[in-house]
Every structure is written in C-alpha cells, then in structure tokens.
Chains A and B, each alone.
Chain A
Amino acid sequence: MNAPFYKYGLFGDDVSLVVAFIIGIGFGFFLERGGFGNGRKLAAQFYFNDLTVFKVMFTAIITAMIGIYYLSVIGWMDLSLVYLNPTYIVPQTIGGLLLGFGFVIGGYCPGTSCVSAATGKIDGMVYLLGIVFGIFIFGEIFPLVSNFYNSTPMGQITLSQLFNIPYGILVFAVVLMAIGGFAASEWAEKKLGNKIVGPEL
C-alpha cells in the first residue's frame, strides 16, 4: 500500500467526504487549541506582543514538510501524485497583500474565523459574512479581473526547481530558518511581550 491512498484508489469519492470531515475536525481542534479562535491573539502577531501565529504556522509547515520529504525519499509516497497549486506570481502576491490587510483590519483568516464563530465570537461570525461578500464581489467582477488573475503563470513549480537547489538541502535550510525565527520570536516576546492567554471575559 502506497500513499497518497486516494490516488491509488483505496477508497472512492463518498468515503473521501468522510475523510474530509474527520481531517477538518483535527484542523479545527488544533487551531482552537493554539488560540487561533481569538482575533486579539491573532492580531497581536502584527504588534510583536504575541508571536503565536508565526510559531504555530511554521511549526506546522516544517512538521508536514519533513514528513512529506522522508516519506517520498523512502519511496512510500509518490510526490508526482500530490497536488501542487500552479503559481501565478503577481496576482498571488497582490492577493497576499490584500489578505494581510484583511488580517489586521478584521482579525482573522478564513479558517480561523470558522473556529472563532464555532466558539461563539460574534466578530468571527461577522468576519465570515464579509468573506462570503468578498468572494461574491470577486465572482461578479471576474470578467474584469480574469486577465490579471491568469497573468504571470509559472506552472506547477517548487522552490527547489526554481532555485535549482536539491530538495533535501532546501528542507534543511527551511528548518534552520524556522528555528532561527522561533529563537527571535522568544526574544522579542520577552522584550515586548503581552501574551494573550484566553478569550475576552
């Protein structure tokens, strides 16, 4: 049996929806555990008071990255069957900037606002309505932005292919970078810290 299981036909589309639901439960559970259902804690990242967003995100990224790397190196997981979102560098960078603005102004991102709403936060529920409205605007003006949306295509490409650096070396470099970032975060929190430990009561 090799991974990814779904791609090897281990189960069909109906079972995949059950898998989706269970994976979602895990995703939501750990987001809430880390404090990601709390807009004040998320926004504190951008004032250097509480760098939990960076720490959780990069711990998650390097955990999954190392796992994927080793499973592919031992030949158990076929990376060519793993979905890679194609790169459109300029619209993705501009979209990212807009997301960053929305993050500071509203306090959440889409996944975290679901957790926020699920734990009773009214601001999270209103934020979700905003997301739906934003997507609706995008859909309605899509004919006007579709040229830009499809501009600067680079195809399905990884950093290792772009910079011609071996996959393993890049994984190692990202891990080192993350550890450096964690050390800097701990230092900054000691200097400027105002940690948010629980919801507003």
Chain B
Amino acid sequence: MSSTSTEIQHGPKPYWNPYLSGIGLGLVLLLSYIIMGRGLGASGAFSTLVATGVSTIAPEHAKSNEFYNEYLSDTTKSPLKDWLVFEVLGVFVGGFISGALAGRIKKTVEKGPRISVSGRLFFAFIGGTMMGFGAKLARGCTSGQALTGGAVLNVGSWAFMLAVFGGAYMIAYFFRRQWK
C-alpha cells in the first residue's frame, strides 16, 4: 500500500539537517565556555568510574597508581561528584529525550547487512577498547579534545583531530564488511 501525503507519518522521524544540529551543538559548547570556562567531555567521566571501581575493590592498588590517583585525589568528597560525570549523565538523558520525541528509541543493533549480530558486537567491544585506551593516551576524546579544544584553536586538539580522521580513513577499507 502506498502512502499519501495526507496520511499521518509513522515510524522514526528523519535526522535533522546536519548544519542545524551543528549550530545547536556549537551553542551548547559556547554556553559551557561562558558559564563554566571549560568545554564538553565524555571519556573523562568513564575514567572517574574506572578509578572509583578499582579503588573500591583494591584501594591500596589504586592509591599506588598515578593515573587512578588523579581521579581520587580529593578525599573530602566522593570522586563521582565530578563535573564530567554529571555532564555525561545529562548526555544520556538528552539523547533519550531527543530519540523519544522522534520515535527513535528501539532495541536494535546498528550494522551493515553482511555481518552477524555477534560479529558486530565483538567489533563494537574491540573498537570501544581501542577508543578508551586511545582517549586516555590523548588526554581526551572527540568531545574533550576535538570539539572543545578545536573551538579554542588548541594545538594538541587539532593534531589529535587530524590523526582521528587520518586513522579512520587509513583502515576503513579493511572493515567495510561491517558497514556496507
């Protein structure tokens, strides 16, 4: 049955025009700079989570490690009472609100037609692991470095951004079965 223009549209709404979403994102980033004097982030919240977890299970081990300690140094409050942790909680809520308004909340696995679900999930875990490791080495991720540092013309952030795009294009051909 073909749909006519008078019919009510069902199913998910299309994504916004990229330039419109980009301006929205840019204004949120600008607002963060104006209100807080800092930009956005994501991976830092997960570092706090990992450091807190390790410190709960093995406190002495965490204390002897310089990396974990950076997230645990202020003993007067819980390490989870952290700016980035609250910001990332907001990201989950904001993503859910936008998805719900557009009818895009659905339990699914995003993948190309030529890979199995378990194959896709395996690669998702491997990719996430590389991303987590890389983001710590680079002192930030696409949010904390590329967007945030990009807007204030930070040298390291621009080098980082070129490397992200370069690295992705370098190996994209070999992983095309996942997506195409």
CB within 8 Å of B: which residues of A?
3-7, 16-35, 37-41, 43-47, 52, 55-65, 67-68, 71, 77, 79, 81-89, 91-124, 126-140, 142-143, 145-146, 148-149, 154, 157-160, 162, 167, 170-171, 174, 182, 197-201
Residues 139-155 of chain B: 1 if any A CB is under 8 Å from the residue's CB, otherwise 0? Answer: 11111111111111111
Residue pair A135, B11 in contact (C-beta under 8 Å): no
Assess whether B7 is interfacial by the CB under 8 Å rule: no
Contact among A41, A107, A138 for B133, CB-based, below 8 A: A138
Residue pair A136, B50 in contact (C-beta under 8 Å): yes
Q: Which B residues between 60 and 107 are near A, CB-CB below 8 angstroms?
A: 65-68, 81, 83-84, 86-99, 102, 104-107
Q: List 25 A-B contacts (CB under 8 A).
A: A3-B33, A3-B37, A26-B24, A28-B94, A33-B20, A39-B124, A40-B179, A52-B15, A56-B18, A57-B142, A68-B33, A92-B156, A92-B159, A93-B159, A94-B134, A94-B163, A107-B178, A122-B109, A129-B128, A130-B132, A134-B135, A158-B152, A160-B153, A199-B106, A200-B111
Return chain A residues, CB-CB under 8 Å to B108. Answer: 120-122, 199-201
Known: A104-B171, A119-B106, A197-B14. A60 touches B22 (CB 8 A): yes
Residue pair A162, B90 in contact (C-beta under 8 Å): no
Residue pair A133, B110 in contact (C-beta under 8 Å): no
Overall SS of chain A's interface: helix
- Whole-angstrom distance between the alpha carbons of A115 and B94 in the complex? 8
- Whole-angstrom distance between the alpha carbons of A96 and B162 in the complex? 8
Return chain B residues, CB-CB under 8 Å to A197. Answer: 14-15
- Whole-angstrom distance between the alpha carbons of A95 and B162 in the complex? 11
CB within 8 Å: A-B pair count: 557
Contact among A27, A35, A117 for B90, CB-based, below 8 A: A27
Return chain B residues, CB-CB under 8 Å to A33. Answer: 15-16, 20-21, 24, 98, 102
Contact among A103, A116, A154 for B110, CB-based, below 8 A: A116
Residue ID in chain A nearest B21 by CB atoms:
A34
Residue ID in chain A nearest B120 by CB atoms:
A123
Residue pair B68, A139 in contact (C-beta under 8 Å): yes
Return chain A residues, CB-CB under 8 Å to B170. Answer: 97, 100-101
- Whole-angstrom distance between the alpha carbons of A150 and B78 in the complex? 27
Contact among A40, A82, A102, A137 for B112, CB-based, below 8 A: A40
Residue pair B91, A85 in contact (C-beta under 8 Å): no
Return chain B residues, CB-CB under 8 Å to A85. Answer: 139-140, 144-145, 148-149, 154, 156-157
Output the residue of B84, B120, B130, B166 with the most chain A CB within 10 A. B130
Output the residue of B23, B33, B93, B137 with the most chain A CB within 10 A. B137
Known: A93-B163, A118-B96. A110 touches B130 (CB 8 A): no
